[in-house]
Chain A
Amino acid sequence: MEFITDYVMFWQDEYQSIMTYTSEHLLISFVVIVLSILVTVPLAVYMTKMKNDKIKSLIFNIANIFQTIPTIALLAIMIPLLGIGFAPAVTALFLYALLPLLRNTYTGIKSIDPSIVEAAKGMGFTTMGRLFKIELPAALPYVMSGIRVTTVYIISWTTLAALIGAGGLGDLILAGIGYNDQYMIFTGTLLAIVIALLLDLAFGKLEKKYTNA
């Protein structure tokens, strides 16, 4: 019982800062998600049309390399270029999000039944008409599930933003570790999980809406 009253007290005391950490977290994640979708989805579409397999695997390899750079090293490289805080955090997370999103979207579009494309061609769609009226809408469920998975990743990765002064729930967790405050660790972790689950749920609903199974 004492634990519960203590924890309620903690929330009362820290409410303001918890809200700050949460909103920082949401903002960073949101910008990263939007940015990576804007870059990745058109790139993936373009790559599915690409004949040259070498360039394709080169792009995948580059995206893969970003994944393998240790976080601290990547952030350290970015300080001279982008400084401290929001910009390098978003950039680093963007680079990390690139591969899963690119791969998911690419395989998503690739997995459209080729007969759909052939039917559309044979029915007299122009190339652009086919892309926007048929191929992209048909790939949407796959693309959406790629975005959904990556979003959950990004929510969790955004805790790393705390390493470069961009705040977020990672700040709360790390502060808790350094300051020996279990409530902070617990709250930061819990909120990150809750946000990830809520977004997953929301995307699931959207996905269902666009998948007419």
Chain B
Amino acid sequence: MKRFINSSVFALLIILLAACGTSASSEGGEVFEYGAQKNTDPKIMGQILKLLVEDQTDHEVNITEDMPASPQVMGGIDRGDFDFATLYSGEVYNNHFDEDQVEYSTDPEATLEQAQELFGERYDMKWYDSIGFINQYSIAVKEDFAADNNITTMTDLGEYANNMILGTDNSWIERDNDGYEGYQEAYGYSFEEARGMDVALMYEGIANDELDVVTAYTVDPQIIEYDLKILEDDQKFFPPYEASLVARNEVIDEYPEVADILDSLVGSISTEEMTQMMHEVDINKRDAAEVAKEFATEKGWIE
């Protein structure tokens, strides 16, 4: 009986340790946990981070993919399930804080600062400066349509909007500040119809001319693939979604070698570069780890 209790306590300890997010790697280092949303850029960032950590230290990184969205990733960090993630500055306006805590702004710096401060404090984590790519909402139409009608800005689109069907993700229509309602106020026009759907299918829809205009995310490779044109946000309506790596303070305090790697990734990948990698993964159906490795080698980050 005693033995049974001992072994159950032992088993419980293992479970608790695993739940803390770190456990021993085969080389004697730690195994860190990275949580990725279901879009592709956080997955690629996870692979790059994993490559660098495993190349330069004894530690390992385990990636959990397809968390529904950023709030769920943050929940994972809060519980200690995840040690690292890639998050976007504009998320700070996303119902996380009361109106008196956060001040809505479309200025990139103000947005990043608030995200770093507010999230950093709430989840006891470090929100690094931007990796360099931006994945924010924008309005895109087919390139030939834009060329034919001489459309370059979102304001230009107003003339045609009431005959256009907009495809968007499931939440944009419901968003308060940066959603459809705000957009209509800012630009003074509405589309004939606005439909929320899966993002992959949204691109399929515009490619098949079932949709006329979409709320594209700026890094999405489908923009290139389907010859879409991102219109200039001349009213500065959309808040910036600059991508940053985040890490639990506990981890970077204890493992400075890991903190160094995270630091080194600040400002390292442009929107174009990320789009290119995503193109390989989403369109050419290549493995994210492979694409990440290629990129890191090209950059000279690994041998």
Interface positions of A (Cβ within 8 A of B) = 17, 72, 75-76, 79-80, 83-85, 162-167, 170-172, 174-181, 184
A180-B169 in contact (CB<8A): no
Residue of B with least CB distance to A162: B170
Q: In the complex, A170 Cα to B68 Cα: how many Å? A: 14
Answer yes or no: B94 CB below 8 A from chain A CBs. yes
Q: How many A-B residue pairs have CB under 8 A?
A: 85
Q: In the complex, A170 Cα to B95 Cα: how many Å? A: 20
A72-B198 in contact (CB<8A): yes
Answer yes or no: B205 CB below 8 A from chain A CBs. yes
Q: Which residue from B95, B169, B171, B201 sits with its C-beta under 8 Å from A164?
A: B201
B99-117 contact mask (Cβ, 8 Å, vs A): 1 or 0: 0000000000000000000
Residue of B with least CB distance to A181: B95
Residue of A with least CB distance to B198: A163
A164-B198 in contact (CB<8A): yes
B208-A162 in contact (CB<8A): no
Q: Given A180-B94, A180-B96, A181-B95, A165 and B196 touching (CB < 8 A)?
A: yes
Q: Which residue from A75, A170, A177 sits with its C-beta under 8 Å from B171?
A: A177
Distance from A83 Cβ to chain B, minimum over Cβ atoms (Å) = 4
Contacts of A176 in B (CB 8 A): 171, 174
Q: In the complex, A163 Cα to B200 Cα: how many Å? A: 9
Q: Interface residue count for B (Cβ, 8 Å)? A: 28
Contacts of A174 in B (CB 8 A): 169-171, 196
Answer yes or no: B273 CB below 8 A from chain A CBs. no
Q: In the complex, A96 Cα to B131 Cα: how many Å? A: 43
A-contacting residues, B194-214, CB 8 Å: 195-198, 200-201, 204-205, 208, 210-211
Contacts of B72 in A (CB 8 A): 177
Residue of A with least CB distance to B194: A165
Q: In the complex, A80 Cα to B197 Cα: how many Å? A: 16
Q: In the complex, A179 Cα to B172 Cα: how many Å? A: 8
Q: Which residue from B71, B96, B197 sits with its C-beta under 8 Å from A163?
A: B197
B195-A179 in contact (CB<8A): no
A79-B69 in contact (CB<8A): no
Q: Which residue from A76, A80, A166, A179 sits with its C-beta under 8 Å from B95?
A: A179
Distance from B253 Cβ to chain A, minimum over Cβ atoms (Å) = 28
Across the A-B interface, the 7 shortest Cβ-Cβ residue pairs:
A178-B171, A165-B195, A174-B170, A165-B197, A163-B198, A179-B171, A180-B71
Contacts of A179 in B (CB 8 A): 94-95, 171, 174-175
Q: In the complex, A80 Cα to B72 Cα: how many Å? A: 33
11 A-B residue pairs with CB within 8 Å = A72-B200, A72-B201, A76-B204, A84-B205, A163-B198, A165-B205, A166-B195, A171-B170, A177-B170, A178-B170, A180-B94
Distance from A38 Cβ to chain B, minimum over Cβ atoms (Å) = 27
A167-B205 in contact (CB<8A): no
Q: In the complex, A60 Cα to B173 Cα: how many Å? A: 41
B173-A175 in contact (CB<8A): yes
A83-B210 in contact (CB<8A): yes
A-contacting residues, B138-155, CB 8 Å: none
A164-B197 in contact (CB<8A): yes
Q: In the complex, A89 Cα to B205 Cα: how many Å? A: 14
A181-B205 in contact (CB<8A): no
Contacts of A79 in B (CB 8 A): 201, 204-205, 208, 210
A171-B196 in contact (CB<8A): yes
Contacts of A17 in B (CB 8 A): 174
